[in-house]
Structure 1
Amino acid sequence: MALEKCQAEWEELEKEFQQLQETHKIYKQKLDELTNLQTICSSSISKQKKSFSDLKHSFHLCKRTKNADELEIIRNIECQIKERKNVFFDMEAYLPKKNGLYLNLVLGNVNVTLLSNQAKFAYKDEYEKFKLYLTIILLLGAITCRFLLNYRVTDEIFNFLLVWYYCTLTIRESILISNGSRIKGWWVSHHYVSTFLSGVMLTWPDGLMYQMFRNQFLAFSIYQSFVQFLQYYYQSGCLYRLRALGERNHLDLTVEGFQSWMWRGLTFLLPFLFFGHFWQLYNALTLFGLSRHTECKEWQVFMLALTFLLLFLGNFLTTLKVVHQKFHKNKDKARKKE
């Protein structure tokens, strides 16, 4: 009886195995079809983009005409080309593409394109959670180093955590950009600069100069983590509302700075941001002063001063530009209503 039962179970497993083989065969066929379709779409998009480039050159020559009707036709086609480029951007988010230089250096030529919306959104949410959890950990770490543990070892652990955090952010953001997230401008470069700054802090040897700047840096880190936590909390709520209204892309992210979509309901963050920017300037000035100290022999002091100055200029000017543009846009809207 036991043998008959085992034999019947084996026959059942054999049937399931045969079905699995058939299903896997179909899966491989569909996979080949998918790969072929991806190749066709990618080559067609490349061809269209090249044709658009040639058309723009031809239109440049045609614009010399004084015929109003012809100029109107050219303007309409140029507007459609601009819209088509946005469509291509969305299409390419679902097609395999070559990695940029940074991802190639870090990951090699691995395809990082996520093919389904569900996978893209899951990765984006994981990125947001990672930022939130690490922001809280860094806040607690900075408080511990500043007020509880005045040891070089704990400072090194904290600085190493900063390096790892910003390095990981740059990799994750590069993957998100490959999958259609419209992260651009200074707020991408900002993380690369922060990675470099944290690396220099990590290599700064203990000494008089380090101790003179240590408490100021840790206090700044506490404030920065606190502001980043505030930004995440309020930006995520604002993004949720805008996505529900169809005004923002589902892959848009929270950032450390200020963007135009944050204007409604988030302007209260601006004083916190500007204060943080000027604290970066204060750090730069302090370090420039320390670099002229007679006891200063470390190259890290002057390098950190330049890096903090770069961060201040990038953050302050970008935020100021967004505020200026939004102010003028609101002013123009008010005039039209009148």
Structure 2
Amino acid sequence: MMTDMATERSRSTVEEEVERVVEQSKELHEAAASLISKASKEAQILRLRALSVDTSILKLRSSIDSLLSHRRLDPKLADKLEDELNRARCILDDGEASSFLPGKAQGRFLKMFIGPIDVRATRKDVQLKVKQEYNRFRDRTAFLFLLFPSALLVLRSWIWNRCLPAFPVQLYQAWLLFLYTGLALRENILRVNGSDIRSWWIYHHYCAMAMALVSLTWEIKGQPNCVEKQRGVELFLQWAMMQGVAMLLQNRYQRQRLYTRIALGKAKRMDVVWGETAGVDGQLWLLCPILFVLQGFEAYVGLLLLQTAFVGVVSEWQVIFCGILLILMAVGNFENTVQTLVAKSRFKAKMKKSKSKQEFD
């Protein structure tokens, strides 16, 4: 009898506990739903306010330019007002309010890989972690970009009797496909989160992905005439070594330059390097010749591949495709580098003119 009563009491206690847990779950669900609804409404209000401030900055800049063009505003006052607007823009873009500004639409590339998922971070610290991971990825791959082709060329001379076997080269091309896909994904995510990265560099990585994918199917022929048939592969590996050195220099110099621009209020923390020439003056004297030589050598490798295809040494369609892509990428890189240098030169001329006016006054 006592055992039955104890069992009944235990069962009743368990039922009560279950009911209590269910009620707590319902209350927690309602509280969470209320909080989310409230946060959503407040976020919408902040989104409208951020859009209003952003529109006001654009209108004020347009008004200042219009007054200057009609000589209705003192240039000194205009410069001061521009500085204040730049400060407001940096506060808006570089602070927590940036997540409430309208973001760039996700491209087809991101949707193809991850689907219609919003990758925009709502918190600034998360956005900065995305950028830091991008920088770390570039640093790691720069060393591998230099090490991988160097090892292949050394082994080619020492062990493989100047005739590369197919597997190591295809392994390298597979790594290139992974590298450029990773860079393109990270750069698309950075753009969605407010980075100013130029579109060309993303398109350049699309072309490089296509070339790496096609070259995986490229038959690396051996003897006879192995050296002649693999001349394009040898030159491509030499170009990759030069690219690795340039990437190491770029990563160091451009990051230093970006830190300076952020400190001066001329760039946002989410920005990345402006093309390949965002260095300071002394660094540009070192980087520019390297970059132009690289671009010329890239075009030369592309022309050599086309030549080997048309004279019948290696006539596969992959050779023609890779040759055309290399030439297109070299031309695009050269054009973008020149545009960056011209923009930098104009900016420096504008700054010198403004400084000389202030000294004259």
**Which TM-score band applies after superposition, normalised by the shorter structure?**
0.7 to 0.9
Counterpart of 1:313 in structure 2 is 331
- Tell me the CA shift for residue 213 of structure 1: 1.1
Instruction: Describe the shift of the 1:175–1:242 C-alpha distance in structure 2 as closer, same or farther (beyond 3 A).
Output: same
| In structure 2, C-alpha distance between the alignment counterparts of 1:213 and 1:20, rounded to whole Å | 67
Determine which of 241, 259, 264 is the counterpart of 1:240.
Answer: 259
Is the contact between residue 138 and residue 158 of structure 1 (CA under 8 Å) also seen in structure 2? no
Tell me the CA shift for residue 276 of structure 1.
Answer: 0.8
**Distance in 2 separating the partners of 1:271 and 1:159:** 27
Q: Which amino acid aligns with 2:298?
A: Q
- Confirm whether residue 214 of structure 1 aligns to residue 233 of structure 2: yes
Q: Distance in 1 between matches of 2:112 and 2:309?
A: 34
Compared with structure 1, are the counterparts of its residues 45 and 244 closer, same or farther at alpha carbon in structure 2 (3 Å cutoff)? closer
Aligned to 2:188: 174
* Deviation digits for residues 269-321 of structure 1 (CA, Å, limit 9, x no counterpart): 11111111111111122112112122333011111121111111111111112
Please give the alpha-carbon distance, in whole angstroms, between the structure 1 residues aligned to 2:208 and 2:352: 39
After TM superposition, the score normalised by the length of structure 2 is 0.70
Opposite residue 302 of structure 2, the aligned amino acid is: A
Q: Is it true that 1:138 corresponds to 2:156 in the alignment?
A: no
Aligned counterpart in structure 1 of residue 207 of structure 2, from 193, 200, 203: 193
* Matches of 1:270 and 1:236, distance apart in 2: 16
Coordinate RMSD, CA, aligned? 3.9
Deviation at 1:173, TM superposition (A): 0.9
User: In 1, are the aligned partners of 2:275 and 2:340 still within 8 Å (CA)?
Assistant: no
Partner of 2:283: 266
Per-residue deviation, residues 88-110 of structure 1 (Å, max 9, x unmatched): 97766446865322211111111
User: Which aligned pairs between 1:103-114 and structure 2 lie closer than 5 A?
Assistant: 103-114=110-121
SS at 1:148's partner residue? helix
**Superposed CA offset, 1:246-283 (max 9, x none):** 33210112466224xx3444312111111111111111
Verify the 8 A CA contact 1:159 1:201 in the aligned structure 2: yes
Gaps of 5+ in 2: 1-19, 60-65, 72-77, 157-163
Q: Distance in 1 between matches of 2:259 and 2:91?
A: 23
Please show how residues 46-61 of structure 1 align to structure 2 within 5 Å.
none
Q: Partner residue of 1:11?
A: none
CA contact (8 A) 2:99 2:123 kept: no
Post-superposition CA distance 1:161-206 (Å, at most 9, x none): 1011111111111111111111123222222122122222222111
In structure 2, how many angstroms separate the alpha carbons of the residues matched to 1:166 and 1:315? 16
Secondary structure of 2:230's match? helix
For 1:245 and 1:331, the matched residues in 2 are separated by 18
2: CA distance, partners of 1:96 / 1:103:
18
Matched position secondary structure for 2:315: coil
Give the structure 1 partner of residue 272 of structure 2. 253
Once the two structures are superposed, what CA deviation does each residue of 1:82-138 show, in whole Å capped at 9, x if it has no partner?
Answer: 999999977664468653222111111111111111111111101110111122122
Which residue does the alignment assign to 2:35? 30
Question: Which string of whole-angstrom CA distances, capped at 9 and with x for unpartnered residues, describes residues 52-108 of structure 1?
Answer: xxx9xxxxxxx9xxxx89xxxxxx9xx9xx999999977664468653222111111
1:239 and 1:89 map into 2 onto residues whose CA distance is: 16
| Cα distance in 1 for residues equivalent to 2:25 and 2:132 | 34
The 5-angstrom pairing of residues 12-31 of structure 1 reads 26-31=31-36
Amino acid at match of 1:206: I
User: 1:9 — aligned with what?
Assistant: none
What is the TM-score of this pair, normalised by structure 1?
0.74
Asked whether the 8 Å contact 1:124–1:251 carries over to 2, the reply is: yes
Q: What's the secondary structure of 2:122's corresponding residue?
A: coil
How far is 1:158 from its partner?
0.8
SS at match of 1:203: coil
Trace 1:143-158 onto structure 2 (pairs within 5 A).
Answer: 143-148=150-155, 150-158=164-172
Partner of residue 107, structure 2: 100
Give matches, 1:2-21, under 5 Å.
Answer: none
Asked which structure has the greater CA Rg, the reply is 2
AA at the equivalent of 1:113: R
- What's the secondary structure of 1:99's corresponding residue? coil
- Checking the alignment, whether the CA contact within 8 Å between 2:301 and 2:323 is kept in structure 1 is yes
Give the Cα separation in 2 of the matches to 1:284 and 1:255: 26
Structure 1 residues 211 and 41: alpha-carbon distance in aligned structure 2, compared to 1, 3 A threshold: same
Q: 2:178 aligned to 138, 161, 164, which one?
A: 164
Please state if 1:226 is matched with 2:245.
Answer: yes
CA contact (8 A) 1:134 1:165 kept: yes
- Structure 1 residues 222 and 332, CA gap change in structure 2 (3 angstroms): same
Match of 1:285 among 263, 279, 303: 303
| Runs of 5+ unmatched residues, structure 1 | 1-14, 56-62, 70-75
